[in-house]
Structure 1
Amino acid sequence: MTASNPGPSGTGTGPGPGRPRDPRTDDAILDAVRELLREQGYNRLSIEGVARRAGVSRPTVYRRWPTKAHLVHEAVYPAQDVHFTAPDDDSAESAAGRDFTDDIERFVEAALVSFQRPETASAVPGLLADYRDQPELREALNTRLDAVRAAFRDLVDAAVARGQARADLDADLLYDTLSAVVLYSTLSSSRRVGPGFARSVAELVVQGAGRPAAD
C-alpha cells in the first residue's frame, strides 16, 4: 500500500491544503472512540456518535479516517504504544543470568496488557472481520508491530547465543504462535486468563509438551 498523504499513522487520509490539522482534535476523537468502545462495543459505535462525543463534526472525523475500521484501528493500536522491548544484554554478566522462559513469560505478559484493555477487547473481533476485507488495515497493523516483532527476534537470538534455544528456531513463527494464544485466550469466553497464565505458556513453549525420548 502506498499513500502520498497518510493520516496520523498511515491508516487514514491526510489534510488537504489549508490550515495544519490540530493534534488536539485528533486526540479528542481517539479518546471518544476508546470511551465508546468501552461503553457500547464495536458494532454499535458510529462515526456520528464519535463526532458528537468529541465535539466535532462528522466531516472532521472523515477528513482524518476514511472508515470506522481505520478510526478504531488507530484508537486501539496507537503508534507509540509498544509494551515490549528486548532486555538489555550489554554486559556479559547480565546476559549470563538471563533465562529464555522468563523472557517468553515477559512477552506474554506484555501482550496481555494490550489485549486485555477493555477498548481493545471490544474492538478486536470486529476489526478481525474488517482486516479480511481491507488489506490496507492488515498492512497498517503489521507496520505498527514491526518494532515489537524485531525486539522479539532479538530476544530469540540472545537465547540461541546463550544455548537456551535451538539455532533453527523460527522467531517469527514463535511470535505468531504466542500472539495467537494470547488473543484466543483473552477473547474466548470459555478461557479465563488469570495469575500464572503467562508462566504456563512460557514453560509449555520452552519445555515442550511431548514425553522425553527413551534412552
Structure 2
Amino acid sequence: MSEQPVTLGRPKDEKTSVDILAATLQLVRLHGYEAVSITAIAKQAGVAKQTIYNRWSTKADLVLEAVFKETGRIAAAVPDDEQTSCQQQLSLFLCNVFEHLSYDARVLAALIAAAQKDEAFREAFKKGFVKPREAMLIDILNRAQQRGELSKHRDVSILSAFVHGAFWYALLQGDALNSELAQSLAAEIFWQG
C-alpha cells in the first residue's frame, strides 16, 4: 500500500493567482511601481494580504511575474515561416515587443530602476524578461544565417546587443517604440551595403 503525500493547508486556487496578477498589472500601470502596495493589490484582487504572501515573497516578485506573464503572451517567439524573410520576422518580433513595452513602459522603467538597487531583483529581471527576448532575437538571426539572408561572418550576439541597446535607450528616453523603429532596426541589421 503506497502512502499518499501529506499537504498542509488548502491548495492554492489558480483563479486567485490569476486575479492577483491581473490586479497587480492594472494598478502598477495606473500608478507606477513605487506607488502600489501589497495592501492595494490585495484590495483590488479581493483577497487577504496573506494570500499574496503565501504565493510571492515580495512585491517585486509579484510584479515581475505579472509583467513576465504579459510579456510571454504578447511578445512571444515568432514562428519560423519559410515564406517570410528573417528580416520580416525580426521586424514582427520587435513590433510585438514594442507593443508590450508601450503598455508597460512606465512599469519596465521602474523595474529597471529597482534592478539597479537590488542584485537579486536584477538577476530575476534578466532571467525572466531580458534573456528570453535575447534568445528569441538570436534565434531569428541564426535562422537568417542558415538561410543565407545574413552573412555568417556577422556576430549575432553583437547584433542582438545593438538591437537591445537601441530599444532600451528609446524606452528610457521616452521615445516612440513603434513599427517604424522596429522596421528601421531590422533594416539596419540586414543591410547589405
Instruction: Compute the TM-score of the two structures, normalised by the length of structure 1.
Output: 0.73
Equivalent of 2:142, from 151, 157, 178? 157
Q: How far, CA to CA, are the matches of 1:164 and 1:99 in structure 2?
A: 8
Superposed displacement of residue 148, structure 1:
4.2
Residue of 103, 114, 119 corresponding to 1:130: 114
Change (3 A) 1:80 1:158: closer
Greater helix share, structure number: 2
**Percent identity of equivalent pairs:** 28
The alpha-carbon deviation at position 34 of structure 1 amounts to 1.3
Letter of the 1:174 counterpart:
L
- AA at the equivalent of 2:161: D
Q: Distance in 2 between the 1:88 and 1:101 partners? A: 12
Structure 2 residue aligned with 1:167: 152
Match of 2:85 in 1: 99
Determine whether 1:113 maps to 2:99.
yes
Q: Structure 1 residue 66 and structure 2 residue 51: aligned?
A: no
CA RMSD of aligned residues (A): 2.6
Partner of 2:13: 22
Q: Is the Cα–Cα contact under 8 Å of residues 90 and 137 in structure 2 kept in the other structure?
A: no
Q: Does 1:183 align with 2:174?
A: no
Task: Give the partner amino acid of 1:137.
Answer: F
Residue 80 of structure 1 deviates from its aligned partner by: 4.4
CA deviations 1:106-152 (Å, max 9, x no partner) are 222121022111xx222112211222343333333344355544433
Q: Residue in 1 aligned with 2:80?
A: 88
Match of 1:57 in 2: 48
Equivalent residue letter for 2:183: R
Cα distance change of structure 1 residues 184 and 17 upon mapping to structure 2, 3 Å threshold: farther
Aligned residues: 185
How much has 1:86 moved relative to structure 2?
Answer: 4.2
Q: What letter matches 1:75 in structure 2?
A: A
Deviation at residue 98 of structure 1 after TM alignment: 4.6
Structure 2: tracts of 5 or more residues without a match: 1-6
**TM-score (norm. length: structure 2):** 0.80
Which residue of the partner structure matches residue 43 of structure 1? Answer: 34
Contact 1:111 1:182 (C-alpha < 8 Å) held by counterparts: no
